[in-house]
Chain A
Amino acid sequence: MKAEWGPDGGLDILGKVLSQVKGEADARYYQGRRTYLRFANSRLYQPLHEETVSISLRVAVDRGRLGVATTTDISEGGLAELVDRATSMAKKAPKLERFPGFPQDPRERTAKAPASKSIIDGELEGKAKELSEALGLVQSELKDARTSGVYSQGLTLLAVANTSSLSRSTIRTIAHSSFLTEKMDVDPTTSGWAEQTHWDPAKVNLVTLAKEAVARTPREKASSLKPGTYRVLLGSPAVADLIDMLSYCMGAVAVEEGWSFLEGMKGKQLASKAVTIDDDPLDPIGLPEAIDFEGMPTRKRTVFDKGIPAGPAHDTLTAARLGGKTTCSALPPEAPYGSVGPIPRHLTFDRGDANIDEMVKELRRGVIVTRLHYVRFVHRKKTIITGMTRDGTYWVEKGEIKGPVTNLRLTDGILRVLAGTEIVGKDLRCHGRGVTASVVPSLLVHGLTFPTATTF
Chain B
Amino acid sequence: MPEELLEVALDTASGPGVRFADVRLFTHHRFEYVSVRNGQPAALTLKDESGLGVRVLREKGWGFAATTTLTRPSVKEAARWARDLAKLAERTGSSIPFAEESELPRNGSYETPLREDPFKVPLEEKVGMLMAAEKSLHTGPSIKTGEAVCTSWQEEKRYLSTEGASYTSKMTHVGAGVSVTAVGGGEVQRRSYPTSFGGDFAQGGFEHVRDFDLMGHAEECGKTGEALLNAPSCPKGKMNLVLASDQLALQVHESVGHATELDRILAYEAGYAGTSFVKAEERERLRYGSPQMTVVADATVPNGLGTFGWDDEGVPAQKTTLVEEGILVGFLSSRETAARRSLQRSGGTMRGDGPLRMPLIRMTNINLVPGDRSKDELVEEAGNGLYMETNVSWSIDDKRLNFQFGCEVGRLIRNGELTELVRNPMYSGMTPAFWGSLKAKGDEKTYHHWGIPNCGKGQPSQVMHVGHGAPMGLFTDVKIGGAV
**Which residues on A are within 8 Å of B, measured CB to CB?**
2, 34-54, 65-73, 81, 85-86, 88-90, 92-94, 96-97, 128, 132, 135, 146, 148-150, 152, 178, 180, 182, 256-259, 333-336, 338-339, 373-382, 384, 386-388, 390, 407, 409, 411-412, 434, 449, 451-456
Q: In the complex the two chains form, is B49's CB within 8 Å of A374's CB?
A: no
* Complex CA distance for A139 and B131, rounded to whole angstroms: 60
Residues of B whose CB lies within 8 Å of any CB of A are 31, 33, 35-37, 39-51, 61-70, 74, 77-78, 81-82, 85, 88-89, 91-94, 122-124, 127, 131, 144-145, 181, 183, 186-188, 266-272, 274, 356, 358, 393-399, 401-402, 404, 406, 424, 426, 428, 430, 459-461, 479, 482-484
A366 to B40, CA, bound (A): 49
B424 to chain A, nearest CB (A): 7
Contact of B460 with A152 in the complex, beta carbons under 8 Å: yes
Distance to closest chain B CB from A174 (angstroms): 12
* Contact call A46/B64, Cβ cutoff below 8 A: yes
Tell me which residues across on chain A come within 8 A of B81, comparing CB atoms: 49
Question: Which residue in A52, A70, A412 is a CB contact (below 8 Å) of B356?
Answer: A52
| 25 sample A-B contacts, Cβ–Cβ < 8 Å, listed by A number | A38-B459, A40-B270, A44-B92, A45-B268, A47-B89, A48-B358, A51-B74, A53-B68, A54-B68, A66-B44, A69-B46, A72-B49, A94-B39, A128-B88, A257-B181, A258-B144, A338-B33, A373-B398, A374-B397, A381-B183, A409-B428, A451-B404, A452-B428, A454-B430, A455-B402
Residue among B77, B271, B402 making CB contact with A149, cutoff 8 Å: B271
Q: Judging by beta carbons under 8 Å apart, are B35 and A52 in contact?
A: no
Nearest first, the 7 closest Cβ-Cβ pairs linking A and B are: A148-B271, A338-B43, A454-B402, A335-B33, A258-B183, A258-B144, A72-B68
Specify the chain B residue showing the minimal Cβ separation from A188: B399
Partner of B42, one of A65, A150, A338: A338
Cα A407 to Cα B81 with chains together (Å) = 40
Which residues from chain A contact B424 at a C-beta distance below 8 Å?
378-379
Tell me the number of A-to-B contacts counted with CB atoms below 8 Å.
Answer: 263
Choice from A52, A81, A378 contacting B426 with Cβ under 8 Å:
A378
CB nearest to B391 among chain A residues: A376
Given A43-B94, A378-B393, decide whether A38 and B44 contact each other with a Cβ distance below 8 A.
no
Among A36, A48, A338, A387, contact of B45 (Cβ-Cβ < 8 Å): A338
Q: Given A373-B274, A388-B398: A378 and B127 within 8 A (CB)?
A: no
| Closest Cβ neighbor of B151 among chain A residues | A335
Instruction: Indicate the member of A378, A380, A409 with the most B CB atoms within 10 Å.
Output: A378
Contact between A89 and B181, CB atoms less than 8 A apart: no
CA distance A151 to B482 in the complex (A): 39
Give the Cβ gap from A338 to chain B, nearest Cβ, in Å: 4
Assuming A38-B459, A454-B430, is B395 touching A376 (CB within 8 A)?
A: yes
User: Taking the nearest CB of chain B, how far is it from the CB of A427, in angstroms?
Assistant: 23
Give the distance in Å from the alpha carbon of A128 to the alpha carbon of B61 in the complex. Answer: 15
| Cα A144 to Cα B483 with chains together (Å) | 39
User: Closest Cβ of chain A: how far from B229's Cβ, in Å?
Assistant: 11
| A338 / chain B contacts, CB cutoff of 8 Å | 33, 35, 42-43, 45
Q: List, in ascending order, chain A residues with CB within 8 A of B428's CB.
A: 409, 451-452
Q: Is the CB of A94 within 8 A of B127?
A: yes
Which A residues are in CB contact (< 8 Å) with B131? 94
In the assembled complex, the Cα of A246 lies from the Cα of B216 at a distance in Å of 36
**Contact partner, B65, options A41, A50, A379, Cβ 8 Å:** A50
- How far is the CB of B264 from the nearest CB of chain A, in Å? 11
| Residues on A with beta carbons closer than 8 Å to the beta carbon of B404 | 378, 386, 409, 411, 451-452
Which residues from A are CB-within-8-Å of B401?
A: 454-456
Give chain B nearest CB distance to A340 CB in angstroms: 9
Please, which residues of chain A bring their CB within 8 A of the CB of B460?
A: 34, 36, 48, 152
Complex formed: what's the CA distance from A132 to B93 in Å?
Answer: 11
Supposing A132-B92, A258-B188 touch, asked if A68 and B144 sit within 8 A by C-beta, the answer is no
Contact of B35 among A149, A339, A409 (CB under 8 A): A339
Contacts of B186 in A (CB 8 A): 381
Do A379 and B484 touch across chains, with their CB atoms under 8 A apart? yes
Q: How far is the CA of A257 from the CA of B356 in the complex (A)?
A: 35
Min C-beta distance of B317 to chain A, whole Å: 23
A43 and B47 contact, CB distance less than 8 A: no
When C-beta atoms are compared, the residue in chain A nearest to B429 turns out to be A452
Contact pick for B64, options A47, A69, A96, A152, CB 8 Å: A47
B47 near A70: Cβ-Cβ < 8 Å: yes
